[in-house]
Chains A and B, each alone.
Chain A
Amino acid sequence: MSISVNHISKHFGAFTALDNISLEIPEGELVALLGPSGCGKTTLLRIIAGLEQADQGDIFLKGDKVTDKPVKNRQIGFVFQHYALFRHMTVFDNVAFGLKVKPRRDRLSDADIAKKVHALLELVQLDWLHDRYPDQLSGGQRQRIALARALAVEPSVLLLDEPFGALDASVRKDLRQWLRNLHHDLNVTSIFVTHDQEEAMEVASQVVVLNHGRIEQQGAPGDIYDHPANAFVSRFIGQTNVFDLDEHDADWLQTAGLLTAQQKGKIAHVRPHDIVIEKSTADSDAFVTLKDWQHLGSLIRIELVKSGAAGQAASVYAEMPNDQFRRLHLNRGDKVELRIRHAHWFH
């Protein structure tokens, strides 16, 4: 195990930020700590880094107990949310910082430092900016410089706090892919914190879902999406329709194919792509009205309205490929038949 978190708890006054967290991260993984704001994900990252002290529990990095080691001796690379670049230093000096502050006996010669810094700057494709100051760079460039600076000290673990949080959408997309590729090339065990489930699913090889200072689920992105451990994870990861048996008309659910003998709870979560719709021919069977739809690139998201048990309208969202939707020749206000292919049941 490259990173091992053992029964970590942390309180800020009466607030419990982390509640007895244990986590094992194998060598070479790219892990996302995912959760809503205030769930304790950044605190956990900072405790692993040594920027914050846990009230209880231990941290092991590569088998070494580092709980009482200060951050500077932990051999970690940390990329801060707002990069924290040294604004009085050039890009080159920022990246060289970690190499220059080493004790004399461990320090490389100036020529070797220069060679290494330029190699790192080439890795992040920004060597041409080496004599600029951070204030003269764009957000995406600063992000990459911060990463190069953290990598300069050859950390055994790379920790990134909301690495894409402060960037605009198009830059973020590019950088996600880039970070994945970089991780693939370097293979350094990495953890990044994010509140964006899409980002976690796209970038990480393992996702840890946190809520209220506890781990809700840990697993590969696909596992978490396909087999959410509980209602929180199911709601937080991806879109989901929630049907509560107490609130919905059982007949309606039966006709839609949801209510079966082997249901394992009272609340059903249904992914939009697990809802199939067809144009209704016979008037009696039609129990949903097509309200509107939105284009999500290759997919169409369809908003359906049904009358609830008590007569109130409820929205149901379905998704289907663009061309399939076009073949249905549906218009707003059409009555459609709806079939639920799969649901996750929770209590």
Chain B
Amino acid sequence: MAQSNIMPGFRPAISFTLVYLALIVLIPLSAMLLKTFELSLDEYWAILTNPRVQASFRISFGAALIAAFVAGVFGFIIAWSLVRYTFPGKRLFDALIDLPFALPTAVAGIVLAAIYEPRGWIGKIVMDTLDVQIAYKPLGIVFALIFIGLPFVVRTIEPVLQEFDTAMEEAAASLGATRLQAFVKVILPNILPATITGVALAFARGVGEYGSVIFIAGNMPYISEIVPLLIITKLEQYDYAGATAIGLTMLILSFLLLLLINGLQWWVRRRSGQL
């Protein structure tokens, strides 16, 4: 860094960033990695291939993925309504979107479980009409994760939609496009990168979500047991190495998935000329 930089404060800024990253992210994560090294590769492999562990991975990642996509669709519609229309109570509605950010997740979980359980307000209606049970089933996990993930999607799409030049829609219409064509060919490609970011955030949050899920999941091994719960269970049995092994695997998987999503996003942006 011998050459002078236009932006002042490079050294203090980068130093702070590195120290922060080390203290908050890198050191704790390496500690976890080191703890895992107490296990031999065979032992590590045995923990991972355990059917109960594998089932929990499937449930955690599967539910988070489904929930993120559902939140993506719902979030898009909600962001659209908030940006494009005016209606009474819009500001209140707008404030409610952030509630899952602020609410203690356990509270959210208990409330969701109470409402969606077979005898709850909504759970009873769904049970009676569709014969589907939501709470204490994998479906309940998806519901909780949609609730948690929605604000991520809404808040990432909203500013992009606000910035979207509506003259582009008018241009599409003047060129003979129908409303649907204008939406699919003009609006959607411009909002898609932000939507992917929102879905990725909702997914990342969903994979690690614990508090709101355990109350509604039922936590049946092989059926509705999520990975974070399994880690807690192992910790309670003083199986620290086992817990960290699962934790590390989860970290790697999440990292790979986020990398994949980033790649997808880069590809979408490049295809749409935004790079």
Contacts and interface: CB of A to CB of B under 8 A. Distances in A.
24 contacts: A51-B173, A70-B173, A71-B174, A72-B173, A72-B177, A76-B174, A80-B171, A81-B167, A84-B165, A86-B168, A86-B171, A86-B172, A87-B273, A87-B274, A89-B273, A97-B172, A97-B185, A98-B177, A101-B172, A101-B175, A101-B178, A101-B185, A133-B273, A150-B175
Contacts of B239: none
B249 interface: no
A102 B273 contact: no
Interface string A55-80: 00000000000000011110011101
Interface in B169-198: 170-178, 181, 185-186, 189-190
A135 interface: yes
Given A84-B165, A153-B176, A71 B170 contact: yes
A215 interface: no
A90 interface: yes
B272 interface: yes
Contacts of A150: 174-175
Interface of A: 49, 51, 70-73, 76-78, 80-82, 84-90, 97-98, 101-102, 133-135, 149-150, 152-153
Nearest to A101: B177
A84 B173 CA distance: 12
Nearest to B271: A88
Given A80-B170, A86-B168, A98 B176 contact: yes
Given A51-B170, A87-B190, A97-B177, 18 more contacts: A51-B173, A51-B174, A71-B170, A78-B174, A85-B168, A86-B168, A86-B185, A87-B272, A87-B273, A88-B189, A97-B175, A97-B185, A101-B175, A101-B185, A102-B176, A149-B171, A149-B175, A153-B175
A280 B272 CA distance: 71
B167 A82 contact: yes
Nearest to B178: A72
A80 B172 CA distance: 11
A53 to B, nearest CB: 13
List 7 A-B pairs, minimum CB-CB distance, nearest first: A133-B273, A88-B272, A98-B175, A84-B167, A78-B174, A84-B171, A101-B177
Contacts of A77: 174
Give the one of B165, B168, B174, B178 with max A CB within 10 A. Answer: B174
Contact of A88 (B173, B177, B178, B273): B273
A49 B173 CA distance: 10
Contacts of A51: 170, 173-174
B186 to A, nearest CB: 6
A76 B171 CA distance: 11
Nearest to B175: A98
Greatest chain B CB density within 10 A among A49, A78, A90, A152 is at A78
A291 B181 CA distance: 64
Contacts of B185: 86, 97, 101
Nearest to A97: B175
A51 B169 CA distance: 11
A35 to B, nearest CB: 21
